[in-house]
């Protein structure tokens, strides 16, 4: 339909064209080149219409339009698929980020617990060392006191021996020995 209008419009334009007036002789003569060109053009258009070239061109254009439409639909579906994949990857990325944040938080909590445990273990170790040091000091003090006491006893016994030896007579010594033996016998039986 559009091609027929185009053909009629072209014929009218050629009929009214200025170069047609410049040709010599009558317009509807085979001697006039413009008329011959017009006739050839009309025959060409007629051959095109006879062989249904406009229909073929139209069907080719329709096929091409359908192809473009299907490509657009495919592009839309690919775009939607890409958007869903992007959304899926963004969700996965968010999940991975959340999981990484949870892991980091858990690691921090474990580190804090480990630090507190280390402090508690250090405090216990210090307490044990302090207790061991106190025991060593007490033991050393006790040994020193015992040594001083033993030394004092040794000195006191020596002093007492000298005093007793100077003041005691042989009969007093025999009497002390007999009393000591008697005491031992009563304690043993």
Q: Which of 36, 54, 88 is the last residue of a domain?
A: 88
Q: Are residues 84 and 115 in the same domain?
A: no
Q: Are residues 116 and 150 in the same domain?
A: yes
> Tokens standing for 76?
């839309």
Q: Are residues 84 and 133 in the same domain?
A: no
| Backbone torsion region of residue 25, taken as left when φ is above 0, otherwise alpha when ψ lies between -120 and 50, otherwise beta | left
128 is a domain residue? yes
Decide if 9 contacts 16 (C-beta within 8 A): no
101 is a domain residue? no
pLDDT of residue 26: 82
Q: What's the Cα-to-Cα distance from 70 to each of 51, 61, 62, 183, rounded to whole Å?
A: 29, 14, 12, 131
Distance CA 65, CA 60 (A): 8
Say whether 31 sits in a helix, a strand or coil.
Answer: coil
Report how many domains make up the chain: 2
Q: Are residues 113 and 165 in the same domain?
A: yes
Q: Cα 85 from chain centroid? A: 20
Confidence class of residue 162 from pLDDT cuts 50, 70 and 90? confident
pLDDT of residue 186: 86
Question: For the whole prediction, is pTM greater than 0.85?
Answer: no
Distance CA 40, CA 18 (A): 19
Taking residue 38's Cβ as centre, other Cβ atoms within 10 Å add up to 19
Distance CA 119, CA 8 (A): 103
Domain span at 77: 2-88
Q: Are residues 117 and 55 in the same domain?
A: no
Q: In terms of DSSP H, where are the helices of the chain?
A: 2-16, 18-22, 33-50, 53-167, 170-188
Q: Which of 32, 54, 88 is the last residue of a domain?
A: 88
Is residue 98 predicted with pLDDT exceeding 80?
yes
The percentage of residues in the chain with a pLDDT greater than 90, rounded to a whole number, is 48
96 is a domain residue? no
94 is a domain residue? no
Q: Are residues 114 and 146 in the same domain?
A: yes
Per-residue b/e over 11-36, b at no fewer than 16 CB within 10 Å? eeebeeeeebeeeeeeeeeeebebbe
Q: Are residues 63 and 113 in the same domain?
A: no
Confidence class of residue 20 from pLDDT cuts 50, 70 and 90? very low
């Amino acid at each position: 339909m559009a091609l027929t209008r185009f053909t009629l419009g072209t014929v009218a334009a050629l009929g009214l064209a200025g170069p047609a007036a410049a040709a010599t002789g009558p317009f509807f003569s085979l001697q006039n080149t413009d008329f011959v060109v017009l006739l050839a053009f009309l025959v060409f258009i007629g051959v095109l219409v006879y062989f249904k070239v406009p229909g073929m061109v139209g069907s080719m254009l329709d096929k091409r339009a359908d192809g473009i439409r299907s490509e657009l639909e495919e592009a839309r579906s690919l775009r939607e698929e890409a958007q869903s994949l992007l959304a899926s990857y963004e969700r996965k990325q968010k999940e991975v980020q959340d999981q990484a944040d949870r892991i980091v938080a858990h690691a921090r909590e474990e580190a804090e617990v480990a630090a507190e445990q280390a402090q508690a273990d250090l405090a216990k170790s210090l307490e044990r060392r302090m207790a061991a040091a106190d025991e060593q000091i007490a033991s050393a003090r006790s040994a020193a006191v015992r040594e001083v006491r033993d030394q004092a006893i040794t000195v006191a016994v020596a002093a007492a021996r000298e005093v007793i030896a100077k003041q005691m007579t042989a009969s007093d010594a025999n009497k002390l020995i007999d009393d000591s033996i008697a005491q031992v016998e009563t304690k043993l039986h």
